[in-house]
Amino acid sequence: MAQVEFLAVPLLIAVALLATVGGTWAFKLFAINRGIVANPNFRSLHQRPMPCGGGVVFSFVFSFSLIGLWLFTEIDANLMWAVVLGGLATTLFGFADDVAQIGAKLKLAVQCGLAVWVLFCFGGQPLLKLSPTWPFIELAISWLCLVWLMNLYNFMDGTDGMAASGAAFICAAAIVVLFLTGSDKSLMLVFALLGVCSFGFLLFNWPPASIFMGDSGSLFLGYCFGALIIKTVTGGQISFWTWLVIFAYFAGDTTTTTVLRIFLIKRWYGAHRSNAYQNLARIWGSHFKVVRAVSLYHLFWLFPLAVWSALDPSFAPLAATFAIAPVIFWTFRYGPRLSSS
pLDDT tens-place string over residues 282-326: 888 888 999 999 999 999 999 999 999 999 999 999 999 999 999
Q: Note whether 198 and 239 are within 8 A (CB).
A: no
Residue 185, SS3?
helix
Residue 273, SS3?
coil
What local confidence, expressed as pLDDT, does residue 341 receive?
Answer: 47
pLDDT tier, 223 (very low <50, low <70, confident <90, very high otherwise): very high
Average pLDDT, the chain: 89
What is the pTM for the complete model shown? Answer: 0.92
Over residues 147-170, the mean pLDDT reads: 92
DSSP 3-state helix, strand, coil percentages of the chain (rounded to 5)? 75, 0, 25
If one counts every other C-beta atom within 10 angstroms of the C-beta of residue 94, the result is 30
pLDDT tens-place string over residues 265-282: 766 666 667 788 888 888
pLDDT tens-place string over residues 33-56: 998 888 765 555 566 788 999 999
d(C-alpha 199, C-alpha 24), whole Å: 11
In the chain, what percentage of residues exceed pLDDT 70? 91
